[in-house]
Chains A and B, each alone.
Chain A
Amino acid sequence: MCIITISRGSFSMGKAVAEQVARRLNYQLISREVLLDAGSRFNISEIKLEKAIHDAPGILDRYRQSKQSYIAYIRSALMERITDDNVVYHGLAGHLLLTGIGHVLKIRISANMEKRIAIVMEKEGITAEAARHRIQEDDNQRRKWTHSLYGQDPLDASLYDLTICIDKLSIDHAVDFICQAAETEEFQSTPRNIQKARDMAVACRVKAALVDDFPNVGVTCEYGNVLIYVKGRDPATGKLTRKLKDVRESVPGINHLETHAGIEFPLDAV
């Protein structure tokens, strides 16, 4: 009864680990489905979404805010998938997108560089030099992405509950460790955790509905009571009021909605 996120460098065998963990625990395995869900729900092509979550924001993105919107969509789609628990997610940025939920086991899988190069050479039929370049380029993009959006380094071990390097330890070993960790009491879902995940899903739905027009609002939800945090002093701008009226009617799970202005955003605001 837990949610496992597996973060991985490209060609680090994380996917294989995730598949085996899901099989052994009889959990649902998700990755690309989240992008498909987000794409169909918000009418955005999967390629754009993948680019948003993979590539670091460029100079123009800082002004366009589109990347922020896409990430809000992806986060919302992911939240919908995990509210029922028993999920292994090995897509991008799971450990960051699911912050704030108590029973998420965050795993980082890395692999020996030489092994990763060998896999790429075999898979793509390219030289060792090209394979190394490709992997490094990929890792760099990931680091920049995480840094620019969350101010963190994906290689920082403190972001994860468990980091495993597939080198001397095999995939099977990794699966054993993860399954054992998933069964510890700290990662079991409790009524409070489940409520928190549901609330987070509502907050993410609201954020996704607002992000295009109001990228800088923060949203929290507790037992269906949604709070919109706005910078500045006046919450009641006509455009936001109208939009919130729509949101109140169209987004499921809202019990009450109000806007708080000029207050520091709480840490758990999405």
Chain B
Amino acid sequence: MEPLTLDMILVMSMIGLAIFLFIVEWVRVDVVAILMMVSLPLLHLVSPKEAFVGLSSNAVVSIIAVIIIGAGLDRTGMINRLVAPVLKIAGKSSSGIITAISVTVAIISSFMQNIGAAALFLPAIQRISKMRNIPLSRLLMPIGFSAILGGTITLVGCSPLILLNDLLTPFNLKPFGLFDVTPIGLALVASGILCFVVLGRFILPQGDQKGGAEESSATLAAAGEKITPDTGEIAFYELSTPDDFTDYRDPVFVEDLRRRYLVNVVAITEPPDYKVISPLPDVEVRSGIDLAVSGDHKDVRRMASAEGMHLKETLEIYKDSLSPQASGSVEAVVAPRSMFAGRSLADINFQDRYHVTPLSVYRHEETYRAKIGDIVVQVGDVITLYGTWKRLMELQKEGALLFSLPSDVEEMRPEKALWAGFWLITALTMIMGFKIQLSVSLMTGALGMVLTRVLNIDEAYQAVDWRTIFLLAGLIPLGIATEKTGAAAWIAHTILSVIGDVSPIVLLMVIGILSTLFTLVISNVGATVLLVPLVVNMAIAAHTDPRMAALVVGLATSNSFMLPTHQVNALYMGPGHYRTVDFIKAGALVSVVFLVVMIAMISLLYGI
């Protein structure tokens, strides 16, 4: 074994620093990656060229292309077209629906980023939940897990696998083909779905229609018979103010009514008789006007009596404006990379910019109804919004929030779906049939989508998530440094000398467990970059196939189910009203099954 050198110590310190920063999150993970990209050449651990080689790597170009292809598929409205035939096949049972949708999501996820597939399907799943009256909490977790597992079906399904061939290059190992992992991936997806179909009732929260949030369901129950969750309607009440309403009192504003009585004004008459839908918070409630509100019946009554308003028996003036054909409420989920994330609701100002009214926010088992303007929105938050379908559709188009609209309102672009499908198949044919390099083939597909106007070039640029690109590109030099300085070999030998001689199966299992643990605390890309050089060295020293060791890392870094740290789990946690303990319960089972199935399949296919 080589002696420990200063360079090795430096590299190990940098790895330690990266892991530490990944865990404490003082700076974002991509910034940590850039820090590595810049500090490694400064410390002379890699050459300046090597430091930035990640940016031009096959992996990074492939991922850019995959993101653009995903964005193209997203813009076709194809998912909504898929849902109807899939549901037809699925039948009426919830197991059938879970299986059918999960398989579809997994297949889509195998050709695009997992989070992209998960976000794309969320509105469709919300609609299925309403149509078939299945609690969202029973659908989302199996489907979310399938999106993650689907990433293991092809080599372009998830970042760690895209990265794998690049990480194998320094060792002169044979790269993997696009579908080399497919049998393993399919087995993983099947086993994951099977876990939920067989044991779903024990591992999934069996929430009510609204997903089990006590507070929101209590509110809805109290609001009475007007609620019809199937169509997303909420209860409205109409009130009028007397002619002396504003006499001898401080002015009352729309926002005051929400703060005092948790009642949302969804429409108000402005003198002389303009009907304003979704009024701004600072609109004054004047004398002799009509207003429509949504809220708990008891709160509305409390407001009417305290403020001296007249509560009408039924909707009169606003009967047409608030009809389910014209308007309604949606549960909008804050999308990954949403422009709203990190901003307060007051700052976003939905009423002014989109003419829709936020009614409540749901996050981490808590429903926020009072002073929601202060709340700083996070990815995965569920904002209940009221507005006319037209306004909600405009908001939906911006893509910052994910929600479903009644199907007759939703816009479809079938001609684009054909082009998107064509270019996806073209890219795959180039890879499989003509053995053209992954990045070139995928970029051809992406370019084709732009040329055929599935999406324009600006949309394509906007779709690219620079965080993912820099995370990948920034960590690649850390992998190079670990290998180049001999640090990977040194750590591998040290570990092997401690654990002694083990059989290849045991070694692969240990690598699988190690990768699973790493991916739970640091990003899957980080775990892959750090572990691949290490395990390849370990495998060489232990006379096991190093490609298989690397493959185990590439696959097991998708084994991230036990905590809501994976982007997909974080996105589905809010709408599914899941608690961390729900992920631990279901995720632990799926993780164990994942490891066993993965090792069994590798052993079966490659004879380890």
Residues of A participating in the B interface, judged by any CB pair closer than 8 Å: 191-192, 222-223, 225, 227, 234-236, 255-256, 258-260, 262-263
Contacts and interface: CB of A to CB of B under 8 A. Distances in A.
A258 B361 CA distance: 11
A191 B250 CA distance: 10
B468 interface: no
Nearest to A221: B370
B368 A225 contact: no
8 contacts: A191-B249, A192-B250, A222-B259, A222-B370, A225-B262, A234-B364, A256-B262, A258-B368
Given A225-B260, A227-B370, A262 B376 contact: yes
Contacts of A234: 364
Given A235-B364, A262-B376, 7 more contacts: A222-B259, A223-B306, A225-B262, A225-B370, A260-B371, A260-B374, A263-B376
Contact of B366 (A223, A225, A236, A255): A236
Chain A's interface: helix, strand, loop or mixed, by majority?
mixed
Nearest to B368: A258
B95 interface: no
Interface in B328-373: 364-371
B370 A256 contact: yes
Contacts of A260: 368, 371, 374-375
Nearest to B215: A258
B508 to A, nearest CB: 37
Contacts, number: 42
Contacts of B366: 235-236, 258-259
Contacts of B374: 260, 263
A86 B443 CA distance: 79
Interface of B: 215, 249-250, 259-262, 299, 302, 306, 364-371, 374-376
Nearest to A241: B365
B260 A223 contact: yes
A255 B370 CA distance: 11
A197 B120 CA distance: 50
A175 to B, nearest CB: 33
A262 B299 CA distance: 27
A258 B364 contact: no
A236 B368 contact: no
Contacts of A258: 215, 366-370
Given A234-B364, A256-B370, A258-B369, A223 B261 contact: yes
A191 B306 CA distance: 11
B137 to A, nearest CB: 16
B374 to A, nearest CB: 5
A255 B259 CA distance: 12
B365 A236 contact: yes
Nearest to A190: B250
A233 to B, nearest CB: 9
Contacts of A262: 376
Nearest to B261: A223
A178 to B, nearest CB: 27
A227 B250 contact: no
A263 B249 CA distance: 32
B136 to A, nearest CB: 19
B371 A227 contact: yes
A235 B306 CA distance: 32
